[in-house]
Amino acid sequence: MKTYQYDVVVVGGGPAGLAAALSAKKQGASVAILERNGELGGILEQCIHAGFGLHVFKEELTGPEYAERFIDQVADQDIDVFLNTMVLDITPDRHVSAICGEGVLHFEAGAVILAMGCRERTRGAIRIPGDRGAGVFTAGIAQRYINLENMKPGNRAVILGSGDIGLIMARRLTLEGIEVEGVYEIMPYPNGLYRNIINCLDDFGIPLHLSTTITRINGKDRVHSVEVAEVDANRRPIPGTEREIECDTVLLSVGLIPENELSRKAGVPLDPVTKGPVVDENLETKVPGIFACGNVLHVHDVVDYVTAEAQEAGEKAALYAKNALKPAAKQLAVKAEGAVRYTVPGFVDPGDGTDKQIKFRVGAPIESGVTVVSSGGQEIYREKKAHRFLPSNMEIHTVACDALKGCTAPLTVRVEIQE
């Protein structure tokens, strides 16, 4: 068994892993990226649509273009890339075992960065009744078939869920000559970014049916129809509203879940809402020396924010590996309140003299509001301009270090509704 030693071992070679590795390298760390796929880039390789890079590169790139810019940088640096290498285990003392064509590899890491991304929720996760014929795909699997494997998933599709991948695939299927009957969303509001509803549905005349869901899938060998029904305020189907739609394909775009099997093995505590690790402002988990960034930490809306977060994690992991990361003198919990579903980070050190970035999402749309952060009843941050909050958009706010000085009570983050 081969054993390697690195300051920083990055698990996953997608957008988070690439940016984290580059940032750690910039700090002078020795870095390895372990990637289970045969190439770097992660999910960006199948996201051939444009819309990436508006923040990082100030231009609109496709997924493969965005990835290639980072892959080229990694190739220019002295970063060791292990492809076709799947991590099997991470221990709390940062021993990483992986398997590849040559057998088992062992890594001793000064710091580990978790960058495994997320996976899609499946039919099983939402328990759609009916037959179990072929033709039911997650939107991402259909995306992989069409964009990478040159395979056609079907001829007439119904899409359940208005997540971004579902919307993007509605356009993609239509362009490739596969009919999309409609997109059905159980919630009264769409789950994807607004620009995707315009560009992917409205442009092609594809209807979006809100407060409507699939109640049954029919077809023993192959899907031949689905039954849809409108739902009430409690998301229960309304009797009498059922109708049958002929289709041979069902795409599911019903949410993403951070992929944390390895984090659990390493003893990293997870947040029940994000399903990702609980981290402090350095993106360090509760297990010292293990950091997390990107969609394994919490599902992001825009890859540019994954990159920024990963750069932070890479820098801090490199400092940790060199014993240069100051341990927190004091840690205050950051708590979500009311419409705010979760916050990242979950803990901050109020007295270390740095500004703190707080990210969160709301659970339901708010027409107009401002973000307010308090500690022990004292307001320490208030957003100036009221705006709309949507569950599909991640909020990012920066609390100044001066405001945090002297805080002793947990921070609470809420959205104050403005009339």
Partner 1 sequence: MKKVKMSCTTCPNSCELLATVDNDQVVAVEGNLCKRGVDFAENEWRCPVRTLTSTMILDTGAKAVLVPVRSAKPIPKAVMQEAMAAIQAKHLHHPVKIGEALIDNVAGTGVAIVAAKTVRM
Phi, psi torsion values for 229, nearest 5 degrees: -145, 150
E-strand stretches of 221-377: 225-230, 243-246, 249-252, 256-258, 290-292, 332-336, 340-344, 347-348, 356-362, 366-375
Using alpha carbons, list the distances in angstroms from residue 352 to 292, 293, 345, 405, 408: 21, 21, 15, 9, 13
Contact 87, 36 (CB under 8 A): yes
Q: Is 198 in the site for partner 1 (CB under 8 A)?
A: yes
- Residue 291 corresponds to which tokens in the numbers above? 């950091």
Q: Is 62 in the site for partner 1 (CB under 8 A)?
A: yes
Nearer to partner 1, 265 or 387 (CB): 387
Instruction: Say whether the peptide bond before residue 269 is cis (omega within 30 degrees of 0).
Output: no
The residue range among 54-62, 205-213, 238-246, 349-357 that interacts with partner 1, by the rule CB under 8 A, is 54-62
Q: Is 323 in the site for partner 1 (CB under 8 A)?
A: no
Nearer to partner 1, 60 or 355 (CB): 60
Burial of 323 per CB tally in 10 Å (0-12, 13-18, 19+): exposed
The residue range among 62-70, 105-113, 181-189, 353-361 that interacts with partner 1, by the rule CB under 8 A, is 62-70
Q: Is 75 in the site for partner 1 (CB under 8 A)?
A: no
Q: How far is the CB of 275 from partner 1 (least distance, A)?
A: 23
Q: How far is the CB of 228 from partner 1 (least distance, A)?
A: 27
Write the DSSP assignment of 124-178 as a string of letters. HHHT--B---B-EEEHHHHHHHHHTS-----SEEEEE---HHHHHHHHHHHHTT-
By CB under 8 A, the residues from 288 to 307 that bind partner 1 are: 301-302
Nearer to partner 1, 7 or 185 (CB): 185
Q: Is 94 in the site for partner 1 (CB under 8 A)?
A: no
Burial of 209 per CB tally in 10 Å (0-12, 13-18, 19+): middle
Q: In angstroms, how far is the first alpha carbon of the chain from the final one?
A: 65
> Position of tokens 């923040």?
55
Q: How far is the CB of 179 from partner 1 (least distance, A)?
A: 14
Helix, strand, coil percentages in the chain from 3-state DSSP, rounded to 5: 25, 35, 40
What character string, x for contact with partner 1 (CB under 8 A) and - otherwise, covers 354-393?
Answer: ---------------------------------------x
- Residue 41 corresponds to which tokens in the numbers above? 């880039």
Q: Cα-Cα-Cα-Cα dihedral of 232, 235, 238, 241, to 10°?
A: 100
Nearer to partner 1, 48 or 328 (CB): 48
Nearer to partner 1, 45 or 349 (CB): 45
By CB under 8 A, the residues from 12 to 51 that bind partner 1 are: 45, 48-50
Q: Is 54 in the site for partner 1 (CB under 8 A)?
A: yes
Nearer to partner 1, 58 or 326 (CB): 58
Binding-site member from 65, 131, 179, 259 for partner 1 (CB under 8 A): 65
Binding-site member from 118, 157, 193, 293 for partner 1 (CB under 8 A): 193
By CB under 8 A, the residues from 130 to 189 that bind partner 1 are: 146-150, 175-176
Q: d(Cα 258, Cα 220) in Å, to the nearest integer? A: 32
Nearer to partner 1, 41 or 276 (CB): 41
The residue range among 56-64, 94-102, 123-131, 311-319 that interacts with partner 1, by the rule CB under 8 A, is 56-64
User: Which of 316, 359, 243, 289 is closest to 20 using CA atoms?
Assistant: 316
Contact 249, 155 (CB under 8 A): yes
Q: Is 241 in the site for partner 1 (CB under 8 A)?
A: no
Nearer to partner 1, 26 or 387 (CB): 387
- Contact positions toward partner 1, by CB under 8 A? 45, 48-50, 54, 60, 62-65, 68, 146-150, 175-176, 193-195, 198-199, 203, 301-302, 393
